[in-house]
Copies of this chain bind each other. A is one copy, B any other.
Amino acid sequence: MKEKLTIVKVGGAVVEDPAQLGALLDGFCRIGGRKALVHGGGRRATQVASRLGIESRMVGGRRITDEAMLEVVTMVYGGLVNKGIVAALASRGVSAIGLTGADMDVMRSHRRPVRDGIDFGFVGDVDRADAKRLSALIEGGAVPVLAPLTHDGNGQLLNTNADTIASEAAKALAQAYDVTLVYSFEKPGVMADADDPTSVIPSITRADFERLTADGTVAGGMIPKIENALAAVEAGVSRVVITQASAIGTDAGTVVH
């Protein structure tokens, strides 16, 4: 039987608010067994860029990353946010280790090609996560804290979406572990009634998803989110949990499996 591993992805809005981050990390500490954390930090990057006189340009929610912006995200994601989380986990007795994809070559990517006339710049699409090196760290007692940065193997760091980092790490590690991938979300889970927080759907399979989209219960931005969760499950991840940051470490939320 495989050992359990929980990978929690937490977005920028939570990591940038000390109170919310503290609560998230307390919840993360309550998760038993092997675990890893993946963080964003986009809002903080936008703030620092703005103070440096660098404008943030987004296309479809993704950041255009020219050389100046790559320096900003390397500083903010790899330094400020990552090391802040590592030190906060260390104070809670967790042997955290901050990583970008370049560290021990754990995640490699290629620069996204220009498509439909849009050049995202130094943005990486993931080629592979190195499950062997990640699991060696985990088996050594460390808790990886992954920043949304990868590299191309030729010395170039690349800005990479944190959701993608989380799902690529989860899929690669699913070969060796019984992986639960947790996405922290602004709502308590997938809700049957968008206005009723008590209407969380506890469990969604592929068949449920088809029924819920056909009858209109699930619509809009939830569709790609659940599609991505089902894709991770179909690639070997045992379950994907969509839940509120404040509920990390509990059984609340929607389980996609």
Contacts and interface: CB of A to CB of B under 8 A. Distances in A.
A77 interface: yes
Interface residues of A, number: 41
Contacts of A48: 75
Interface in A65-85: 71, 74-80, 82-84
- The oligomer's copy count stands at 2
A140 interface: yes
A103 B79 CA distance: 12
Nearest to A25: B155
A48 B49 CA distance: 11
Contacts of A87: 100, 102, 151, 155-157
Interface of A: 48, 51-53, 71, 74-80, 82-84, 86-88, 90-91, 95-100, 102-105, 133, 136, 140, 142, 149, 151, 153-157
Given A83-B102, A98-B103, 6 more contacts: A78-B98, A79-B82, A79-B83, A88-B155, A90-B102, A97-B104
